[in-house]
Amino acid sequence: MMTSISAKGLDFRALSDKIRSVPGDIAVTDCLGQRFIGAGQSGRRIEIHGVPGNALGAYLNGADIEVFGSAQDAVGDTMNAGDVIIHGNIGDTAGYAMRGGRIFVEGSAGYRAGIHMKSYRDRMPVLVIGGSAGSFLGEYQAGGIIIVLGLGGKAPIVSNFPCTGMHGGKLFLRSRCENVLFPQQVRAREATREDLREIEPHLSEFCARFGGSLDELLASPYTVVTPDTKNPYKQMYVQN
């Protein structure tokens, strides 16, 4: 059974206290910019109706959060486990330093999505963006998988400076990326069938959450980006 509470008139501290005081699954209505919702939560489902503020699901440790609307910056900051589902767009720095769990975004993401994303022991973080991504996508990525689908076609699939400082993980872009300028320390190539098998479960989950055809997604060309060196900073900052 899910308990419903209203966030109307509550600041982020009061709302967080109220969420923690209610056992089991919970639905938050009238959300309007409150920060840190679901921070550190585990073993429960949290539905949010409205627009949550920064750091939604920060340090998430196994809870499932679903937002029926858009979300602001730093979604899933340093999360360890669990799912964050956004039926809308997200702001900047989504998945900052996340080391486990999954984030699925129906719409687009702002700047620096997946920055400092990393794998941790047996945990493999996944960030799937249905629309486009802003500049510095995958900046300093050290692990995990980032997928951008470019659905809607209203903007380039990725903006400037993707994969700057990338030294681990993989980035998949549903595009041939003929006009995307990648830095020298990464390798960008057309994805193979084997590459697509790796991300097929995440694409299937995306379609299950938001609709769409898995076959159509898999039939599209993808570019996969991986680091080409274990020392990406040498080319950026050392002069020889």
Is-contact 174 220, C-beta < 8 A?
yes
Q: Would you say residue 235 has pLDDT above 60?
A: no
| Dihedral Cα 46, 103, 88, 138, nearest 10 deg | 150
Is-contact 53 70, C-beta < 8 A?
no
Alpha helices by DSSP H, 52-192: none
Please state, in angstroms and rounded to a whole number, the distance separating the CA atoms of residues 77 and 11: 20
> What pLDDT, on a 0 to 100 scale, did the predictor assign at position 155?
83
Is-contact 56 75, C-beta < 8 A?
yes
Q: What single string gives the DSSP state of each residue in 150-178?
A: -TT-SS-SB-SSTTTT--EEEEEESS--T
Please state, in angstroms and rounded to a whole number, the distance separating the CA atoms of residues 173 and 194: 15
Taking residue 23's Cβ as centre, other Cβ atoms within 10 Å add up to 8
When pLDDT is cut at 50, 70 and 90, the band that residue 231 belongs to is low
Please state, in angstroms and rounded to a whole number, the distance separating the CA atoms of residues 188 and 38: 36
Length of the chain: 240
For residue 21 the two structure tokens come to: 């005081």
Alpha helices by DSSP H, the chain: 12-21, 193-210, 214-219, 234-237
pLDDT digits (tens, 9 = 90+) for 138-174: 999 999 999 999 998 778 999 999 999 999 999 999 9
CA 13 to chain centre: 25
For residue 103 the two structure tokens come to: 């984030």
Three-state DSSP class for 216?
Answer: helix
Q: Would you say residue 229 has pLDDT above 90?
A: no
When pLDDT is cut at 50, 70 and 90, the band that residue 240 belongs to is very low
For residue 152 the two structure tokens come to: 């809607």
Nearest to 40 by CA among 82, 70, 87: 82
When pLDDT is cut at 50, 70 and 90, the band that residue 41 belongs to is very high
Please state, in angstroms and rounded to a whole number, the distance separating the CA atoms of residues 208 and 203: 9
C-alpha to C-alpha distances, 109 to 91, 177, 196, nearest whole angstrom: 6, 18, 22
Mean pLDDT of the chain: 94
pTM of the predicted structure, to 2 decimals: 0.94
